[in-house]
Amino acid sequence: MSAPMVFALTFEHWLFQAMALVAVGVEIWAFVDVLRRGPAEFLRAGQRDRSFWLLLTGIALAVGAMGLLMGAGLGMFSIAAVCVAAVYLAGPRGELRLYSR
């Protein structure tokens, strides 16, 4: 294999690892945010209950962490996991911020 090809493949590998690290950071943010909020806040905001979001973001965090630790980078399951975390951060979290405090 030629040197430019080795460089390109190495660059691609580390790029996917960096994106997976950012994705796990987003998943941790979503999971910790769900943990910090009480069940009553979810009911006041009219959202799904806390256990639903705790389960989804917990599974998303586990899937993203496994992908990162196994060296798979940002694969299909990791992309689905970060989408779950992003849905929570974009939707229910905003509503919860309005009804908390």
The structure's pTM equals 0.89
Tens digits of per-residue pLDDT, 48-81?
999 999 999 999 999 999 998 888 777 889 999 9
Region 43-52: what's the mean pLDDT? 91
Q: Please tell me the distance from the alpha carbon of residue 80 to that of residue 67, in angstroms, as a whole number.
A: 12
Q: Which residue has the higher pLDDT, 90 or 46?
A: 90
State yes or no: pLDDT of 47 exceeds 90. no
Own/partner long-range contacts of 9-12 (Cβ < 8 Å, ≥24 apart): none
Is pLDDT above 70 for 97?
yes
User: 95: closest CA among 20, 51, 42?
Assistant: 42
Inter-CA distances, 55 with 9, 39, 91, 101, Å: 36, 13, 16, 24
Neighbour count for residue 15 (Cβ, 10 Å): 12
pLDDT at position 64? 94
